[in-house]
Structures are given as structure tokens and as C-alpha cells.
Structure 1
Amino acid sequence: MARARGRLTSLSKRKQYINWIQEANGTGARLTLACIEVGISIRTYRRWYKAGQVSADLRSDAVRQAPKNKLTSTEQAAIIAVCNQPRFASLPPT
């Protein structure tokens, strides 16, 4: 399970990953190999699990408002319709 860098991981997922890693480590697996199986680095494990607690991501997970200048779905459809006309078919997007 390869994960992209910088991806937000919920606290529940972090706890699940840490539990899996600790269970594997407790039964004899190396910590580094257990982390690789889950798809995180040993550095990420240590950052998430400090002083016996799993830390939450400090980034905001708030839902942000759409920008005021965002195109409506009707405007987007109109632009796509014009771009897909035969006279523009052989032209680059710019």
C-alpha cells in the first residue's frame, strides 16, 4: 500500500496502523519491516507515535469555501462545448 507524501491520514487510520505495527512487532517482526508492510516509513511511525500516544495531524481539516470567481457548472459546460467544436479540434488548448 504505497502512499503519497503529504497525504492527510485520519486519527482513526493512524491508530489502526500503529496497532497493526505494534502487533506485528510484538510477535517478532522487525519494526522497520512492519512499517513497510503498512506503507509508512519508520520516521513516520515515530512521528505519529510519541510517548505512548498516537498524535493527530495538526493540519486543518476544515472544509473551505469555493472561490468567488469559480466557474459554475453551466459556464464550464459552455467552455467545453466551444473547445470541442470541429474548428478547434486540431488546435492546442492554449
Structure 2
Amino acid sequence: MIHKDAIMTTLYFDSRESHKQSCEVRIDGNEIVIDYRYAGDPKTYTYRGVAQAPGHWVLDNAGVQNGSATLHRLAPDAVYLNGYWKEGRDQGMWRIELR
């Protein structure tokens, strides 16, 4: 299933404010792909992962130093994915609303 108009809310564990941005989410069987861009940056960032259990993914972002994340979907029809992310020395939580 493809969610082209998903909304990603990113929270930081430091003093930075949270922010929202659009993203695309593709879920195909056990695989999940999250694509997003930062405002003013033409590069697309991609997290890819495989389910460790139904609705529980571990993801990597090869385009970012130490890019890794988790996402959890508590029910097959849930509209929110929640998890943890780390990119280099930055880390925080994220929530993706599927649309």
C-alpha cells in the first residue's frame, strides 16, 4: 500500500522544536519504505526496513551517517506509525500519519 500524502512529525531529544513535513510511505508485505525531503533540499532521504514481527519494523537510512529507526503500527488498520530514529549524533521520536 502506498501513502503519498503521509505527514511525519519529528521530535528531537535536544532543545530543537518538533516539526511536521510530508512524506511517502510504502508498505509491501514485510517491507516498509519512507521517503521524505527537507524544505529547500532537493535530496530525497529514504528509510527502508523489514518487519521483525507484524507491525514492528527496524529501518536503516543508507544516505545518513548512522541512520537507523524503528516504527510500530499497533493494528493493521491504524493510521499512525510511531517510533525512534537516530541520524549521526541526533536522535528522537517520530510519528507518521498515514493518509
For normalisation by structure 1, the TM-score amounts to 0.24
For normalisation by structure 2, the TM-score amounts to 0.24
More strand by share: 2
More helix by share: 1
Larger radius of gyration: 1
